[in-house]
Structure formats: structure tokens, C-alpha cells
Structure 1
Amino acid sequence: MKLRAALTTLLTVTALAVVTPAPAQAATNSFRGVNWADARDNYVDGWVIPTGLTASDSYATVRSKADGIVAGFQSQLGANTLRLPINPQSVNSTWWAAYKGAVDSALAHGMKVILGYWEATKDGYVDDSAAWNTMWDTVTSDYAGNANVYFEPMNEPFGYTLSAWVSLCSTWLARHSTIARGRVLISGTGYNDNVTGVGAASALSGTLLSLHFYGFWNTYTTRAQWTADLTPRIGSYASRTVIDEAGAPMTTGLTYTNGATQDGNVFTSYFAALTDLTRAKQMGVVYWPGLRSGDTYSITRQSGTGLAVNNASGVAQLRWGWGL
């Protein structure tokens, strides 16, 4: 009887385990990343070419260069996510065949990759809907089968009203319905500066959300002020939100890790507030930029075939925000 009871209990527990649905995603801190950006910025009317690559590079050359840079992001920072820019000029051309070497390198290193669209005219709208759709058809065809690739339909859609932006994203989701919504990052409204509107939109349920937050947006000098500014931009959607752009000066000699002196300076207080909040809320952060020549925010620089750190205290504070 005891054996029969034990077997009955075991079967009951097993059955419950089978029918219990997997819990919804409760955190995004598995995204510990950096942006690899074009020195001209990613808003270019032409091919996007991240620092260290050249337009004449073949796939093999891009892959080789990227191997050193991606390995640097991993070893120097502890990153596991790479955000790369795309646009129709790059994808709907011969450059895409070579540029994919950067994506493939990151994937071969076990990284997540976020591919985000940058427009060229800097007006906050998709430049050419037909070319944009062709671009995304190509990109999703190439990488829909790899679960480590994530898609961001547009970076900083500040030209659109909330309703127009939700409509555009809904159309994108319908066109690419075979891609799990958990692999799509929907940008917040404005300059990706608030996710509460897109988070509340039922048409976008199940997607991740992307938020941008920068210290040059205000002149606060205390962590409390920055926290009060950032918190309502996230609202109740922290579990879906990845901050996929945030950064501070890394080549000007600031020290980010001394808690006693983080207040009193715009950027040290900003970066402390950001990373304290993301750590507490278990949110992902993709730093801007991991590498971009000529950018004082760049947390690394090229060194031989790899990377060197520009500010060790900045790296330590970023890793704190990542939960490391």
C-alpha cells in the first residue's frame, strides 16, 4: 500500500509538472551588453560601419576583426550581449554579406545580438517603408532560426505619436509572426525615453521593451534626483524592459565607484542611480557605446586586435548594474 501511495503521489506531481505553464519572464538582467557603433554615429545615409571595420572588408575580414573585439567585450567587461545597427542601405546591398561576419562572430562567442534599425534623416520616422520591410525580411530570414538574435524594429521613434508607433509595431509583428515576441524589443516613445505607453499596449503584449536614458538630459547632481527621473519612465514594466542605451564620459577622468562622492557631479550621480536601479530591479543594460572611436563615452578603445578599458571605475559600476 505504501508503495502504491508513493507511486500515486509521484505520478500526480509529474502530471502537475507537465501541465504547469512556464512562468512569465520576470527579469531582463540576462542582457549584459554594449553597443558597437559607427564613428559617424549610426544615423548615416549609407552603410553602417562600426569602429574597426572598413567598407572594403570581406566577410572573412569582418569576422576576424569582430572576433578580437567581441572577445574583448567579454574579457574586459564581462558582456554577453552585442547591439549592432542596421539600415536598408546596409542590408539591401553587398555590405550585408560582409557585415554579417560581426553578427556571426558574436553568436559564435555565445553572445546575444540585438539588431536595431537606425533611420538616416534624423526625423524620427522610418525613411522608406518598402526598403525597411525588405531589410527586415532579409534580416529575419537570415536569423529567425537563431534564438540568440533579437530584433528592434526602430531606434528612437520620436516622430511618431504613441498610437501611430503602436500601429507600426503591430504591423511589423504581424509581418514577422513566426518570430517569438520575446525576441522583439519595442522602443519606448520619443527618444526611447518612456516605455509605459508601449508597455500598456495590448497589441504589443509579450514583447520586450527598450529604454534609453542619458545624463546629458538634465543637470541633476544627486542619485535621488536621477532615480526619481528614471523610475516613472519604466513604470510597472521593469520585467520587460532592457535599457539598451545608457552611458557617461569614460575618457575625462571621472571616478564612478566611490559612493561617498557619486553625488555632486551630473554624470557620476546619474550612472550610480542608473546602475543601482537596474541591479535592484534586475534589468538588462546595454551600454552606449562599448566601442566607438572619437566618443568620450566609449568604455573601451581598440588595442592591437583586441580592446583596452578607458575607465576601470566605469567598468566596475557597469558590472554592478549588471548584477555582477
Structure 2
Amino acid sequence: MARFRRCLLALLLVPLFAVPHDAVAATNGFRGVNWADARDNYVDGWVIPTGLTAGDSYDSVRGKADGIITGFQQKLGANTVRLPINPQSVNSDWWGRYKGAADSALAHGMKVIFGYWEANKDGFVDDVNAWNTMWDKVTSDYGGNGNVYFEPMNEPFGYSLNDWVSLCSTWLSRHSTIPRGRVLISGTGYNDNVTGVGAASALDGTLLSLHFYGFWASDTTRSAWTANLSNRLGSYSARTIIDEAGAPMTTGLNYSAGHQDGNNFTAYFAATTDLARSRQIGVVYWPGLRSGDTYSITRQSGSGLETNNATGVVQLRWGWGL
């Protein structure tokens, strides 16, 4: 009997150790969109996503957001929204009103990702003290909500890998009450590669965020784009959320099967969504809504939204696993 138990134990343990590290989790629970400022989120001032105004009260923000968030859900099938923040917005009276956007999303059962954008466009945190004050406030207000996620910085291209890991380690220590599984650590450069941060033991347990765009290369085949994206992911797909990826949605491109290879953007978007689906990677589209942006997959219509490209929506939903 003892020999039988040892054999049975061996059979039970083999699959556990045989599963590749990258296959033990997935992030495809994040089916998201960015809700962005028409000026882009790199602003020296309040970030004000499309549809909101600086004069809005909390109730006004909340009411406008209700229509937009409902649009993201009904028109796209999204369950996540990524919202920009900066110290100018949070360390001011705008924060008490802007929170209506996040509160609306949470009330609709959405996940919320707060991401910091710097203003100087140099890839560095503008003012570390103000940045810390901002994050202290945001984590104090939303740290207790399990549907809220925190991205310490968007596109940290000014930092070396070591300096970026050091800054993120300090952030994690300062906000140690936030579970690491609710923190998104940006890849190096323009969030364009997660292999370095993924390998950093100081960042174990965190999620990783990757950005990936079709204007980064001129390839016109899905196979080339798949190889490009795979190299940026390395062995860290299971921890990664592609929290920016997008393509032109107002120029008449057809993203349907049979129309993908042969064009830079259709091949790129097909490869991105195919790989995301096959590896169960979450995707947060850029942008879900941003006026004046040809990549915007929706536009405002009354108090709600309409989609800009039906084939693009189908392909995005395919990538989400829908």
C-alpha cells in the first residue's frame, strides 16, 4: 500500500511540475479600453477624458460617465477601463469630481486601471514628491476595492531597466498594503518590452503592462507581427496585459479575415488579437474613446457611443476571447 501511495503521489505531482511557468495563469479577464484626453494624456494640467469638462461637478462627471461606460459595455463587450491620472489632477479639487468616472465604472461592474502620465514627455517621473502624494491619495481612496488596479507610470522610457526596477520596488514598498496582483508594472522603453521587468525578482507577483503598435514596423504579414510581439513578451505572457494596442478605425480599413495580410495595420491588428486570444492575454484597446483620434474605436452619440468600425470591433472581441 505504501508503494502504491508513493506511485500515486508521483503521478499527481508530475503535471504540477511539468506545466510551463508561463501557462499557470492568464490575464484575459481584462477586456478593456482606454478613455483618453483629446490632447493626449501627456498634459501639464488636469487630465480630462473626452466627454468631460473642467467645469463638471462630481454628479455631472458621474452622469456623463454612466453613458460612456454603458457604451463601452454594450457596443464592445468591455469590462475594464484605463483612466489617466497625474499629480495636477489628483492633488487638486478636480480629483473629487473626476472620481465620478471611476465610480461609475465600478458601479457598472467594471475593472478600473489608474495609470500615471508625466507632463514633460521625457520618460521620467516629473516630481517624485508630488507623484508620491498622488499615489498616496489614489491608493487611500481605492486600495480597498479589488476591482481597481494601479500602474505606477506609463511608458518609462527615460529610465534604464535597473533604475526603473528600483523605482517600482520603492513604490511597492510604500504601498505594501496593495496586493501585487493589482499592480501593473510597465515594460521598459515605451512599455514596449516586458522581459526585463518580468525577470526582476523584486517585482515578483505583479502584473506587467505592454504597449504594441502597428506604426512601430512596416510589416504586412501576420507572421511577422506575431514574431515581433512574441519577442516583446518573452516567457511572461501569463502576467502581461497589453494595455495599449490600436489601429486606425475611421479610415475604412477592413479587419475581417481574408483582408488581413497585405496591409500594415490589418496584419498587425490580426496578429495582436490572434496571439492575445491564443495565449489568454488581456487587451486594453487604445483608445476606446478619444475625440480627434483616428484610432478611436467609438465616438460619442448623444449621451452614449457608436462604433467607428464594425470589423475592428469584431476583431477586438476575438482577441478578448468573445
Query: TM-score of the superposition, structure 2-length normalised?
Result: 0.93
Q: C-alpha separation between the residues in 1 aligned to 2:275 and 2:73?
A: 23
Rounded Cα–Cα distance in structure 1 between residues aligned with 2:228 and 2:237: 15
| 1:194 positional shift | 0.1
Matched, 1:118 2:114: no
- Cα 1:25–1:79 change in 2 (3 A) is farther
The corresponding residue for 1:317 is: 315
Q: Tell me the distance in 1 between the aligned counterparts of 2:259 and 2:167.
A: 45
- Tell me the SS of whatever aligns to 1:260: coil
What secondary structure, in the 3-state scheme, does the structure 1 residue paired with 2:258 have? helix
Q: Work out the number of aligned pairs and report it.
A: 302
**How far apart, CA to CA, are the structure 1 residues paired with 2:281 and 2:178?**
23
Superposed, 1:213-292 pairs within 5 Å as: 213-257=212-256, 259-292=257-290
Q: What is the aligned partner in structure 1 of residue 12 from structure 2?
A: none
Given candidates 285, 296, 311, the residue that maps to 1:298 is 296
Q: CA deviation at 1:83?
A: 0.1
Deviations 1:82-140 (A, max 9, x none): 00000000000000000000000000000000000000000000000000000000000
The CA deviation string for residues 162-213 of structure 1, in whole angstroms up to 9 with x for no partner, is 0000000000000000000000000000000000000000000000000000
Displacement of 1:260 after TM fit? 2.1
User: Secondary structure of 2:210's partner?
Assistant: strand
Gaps of 5+ in 2: 1-20
What are structure 1's unaligned runs of at least 5 residues? 1-22
**Letter paired with 1:50:** P
Q: Which residue of 2 aligns with 1:61?
A: 60
Q: Say if 2:156 is the partner of 1:169.
A: no
Counting aligned pairs with the same residue, the percent is 80
Specify the code of the residue in structure 1 equivalent to 2:75: Q
Matched AA of 1:147: G
Residue of structure 2 in register with 1:32 after alignment: 31
Residue 261 of structure 1 deviates from its aligned partner by 2.2
Q: 1:106 is matched with which residue? A: 105
* Cα distance in structure 2, aligned partners of 1:129 and 1:137: 12
Stretches (4+) displaced over 3 A:
none
CA distance in 2, matches of 1:185, 1:32: 15
1:107·1:113 contact (CA, 8 Å) conserved in 2? yes
For 2:285 and 2:145, the matched residues in 1 are separated by 23
The one-letter amino acid of 1:267's match is F
Separation (CA, whole Å) in 1 of partners of 2:24 and 2:227: 25
Q: CA deviation at 1:25?
A: 5.9
1:81 match: 80
What amino acid maps onto 1:73 in structure 2? F
Counterpart code for 1:270: Y
What does residue range 15-30 of structure 1 map to in structure 2 within 5 Å? 26-30=25-29
How is 1:85-164 mapped onto 2 (pairs within 5 angstroms)? Answer: 85-164=84-163
Secondary structure of residue in 2 paired with 1:301: strand
Q: 1:25 to 1:147 in 2, by over 3 A?
A: farther
Contact 1:25 1:240 in 2 (8 A): no
1:86 and 1:117 map into 2 onto residues whose CA distance is 5
Q: Which residue of 1 aligns with 2:13?
A: none
Letter aligned with residue 269 of structure 1: A
Separation of aligned partners in 2, 1:260 and 1:316? 14
Partner of 1:18 in structure 2?
A: none
In 2, Cα distance between equivalents of 1:260 and 1:294: 29
Deviations 1:210-254 (A, max 9, x none): 000000111000001101111010000000000000000000000
1:16-49 deviations in Å (ceiling 9; x for gaps)? xxxxxxx996100000000000000000000000
Amino acid at match of 1:290: G
Contact 1:150 / 1:183 at 8 angstroms: preserved in 2? yes
Rounded to whole Å, the distance in 1 between the matches of 2:27 and 2:258 is 29
SS in 2 for 1:173: helix
SS at match of 2:209: strand
Cα separation, 2, equivalents of 1:301 and 1:79: 15
Tell me the secondary structure at the aligned position of residue 98 of structure 1. helix
